[in-house]
Amino acid sequence: MNSDPSSPPPPPSESVLREREEPRSGTAPAPFWLMPLAGALFFWGALYLFLFSGGFHGDVFDEEAGLYGPGSGDKQDVATAAAEAGDPVALGRRIYNINCAICHQPDGRGLPGQYPPLAGSEIVLGAEGYGENHLAHIVLDGLVTPVTVHGTVFNGIMVPWKEVLDDAQLAAVLTYIRQAWGNAVPPVSPQAVAAARAASAGHGPWTIGALRQLPAEASAESPSKVSK
């Protein structure tokens, strides 16, 4: 034993060195499983915000704005609100600009590769075997892609709106997109939307193949139950 306090301590023994952890520099990489988990959480959060953000309007829960559904935007005086309530195109334009324009764009041209255009769309116009019943089911229940419009494939997901907007509001939106941007086809009635809602109660998002098996036009008198 070294009794001289000024001398340096003896080096650690070999057994002590073996017990010490190897020094590391930098940071350790994240576990592989963390990346898909983070992606799934991000997608869920984005979808939740999209469905329940109310269009990020502060007056979303204003009872005076209930005429336009969640995220109705600017307050209107009673006379203006009453006028829009009697004009499906005006009401549909307001609801569209708040809830739909973010994906399909204010000019109805959509986003390349993601969300299809509504201007001149065969689905909107009821061409090539499509009809108002198909359109109603898309906005009610949602649509999983791919979907082809104007010969171009789009892969964005259409979320369901049946829990957000009522039959009159959805009919107003559909009427607006069928008569905007050069489109010129008849309006969609709340009764047609109600028939589609009853026919597909509990149904999830459609595929184009399953949707094309439904009748092109809705029957408000006797809606038939569709298979899930």
CATH code for the domain of 66: 1.10.760.10
Query: CA–CA separation, 108 vs 181, rounded Å?
Result: 7
pLDDT range class, residue 48, cuts 50, 70, 90: low
Sign of CA dihedral 62, 92, 151, 128: positive
Phi, psi of 160 (to 5 degrees): -75, 145
CA atoms within 13 A on the CB side of 92: 20
pLDDT surpasses 50 at 227: no
The residue to which tokens 């999983």 are assigned? 144
Specify the pLDDT at position 221.
Answer: 43
Domain housing 61: 55-211
In a domain, 32, yes or no: no
Q: Is 76 helix (H, G, I), strand (E, B) or coil?
A: coil
Mean pLDDT of 139-151: 93
- Let me know the angle formed at the C-alpha of 150 by 145 and 151, rounded to the nearest 5 degrees: 70
Query: CA–CA separation, 155 vs 170, rounded Å?
Result: 23
Average pLDDT, the chain: 78
In a domain, 219, yes or no: no
Sign of CA dihedral 212, 227, 118, 221: positive
In a domain, 10, yes or no: no
In a domain, 9, yes or no: no
Specify the pLDDT at position 228.
Answer: 37
Specify the pLDDT at position 24.
Answer: 64
Yes or no: say if 116 and 157 are a contact pair by the CB < 8 Å rule.
no
pLDDT surpasses 90 at 55: no
Specify the pLDDT at position 200.
Answer: 87
Q: What is the number of structural domains in the chain?
A: 1
Residues β-bridged to residue 113 = none
Query: CA–CA separation, 60 vs 195, rounded Å?
Result: 28
Mean pLDDT of 170-179: 96
In a domain, 185, yes or no: yes
Lowest average pLDDT, out of 61-70, 73-82, 102-111, 155-164, goes to 61-70
pLDDT surpasses 50 at 225: no
Yes or no: say if 187 and 175 are a contact pair by the CB < 8 Å rule.
yes
Q: Is 158 helix (H, G, I), strand (E, B) or coil?
A: strand
Mean pLDDT of 59-64: 39
In a domain, 44, yes or no: no
Identify the residue with better confidence: 200 or 18: 200
In a domain, 78, yes or no: yes
In a domain, 25, yes or no: no
Percentage above 90 pLDDT, the chain: 52
Yes or no: say if 124 and 118 are a contact pair by the CB < 8 Å rule.
yes
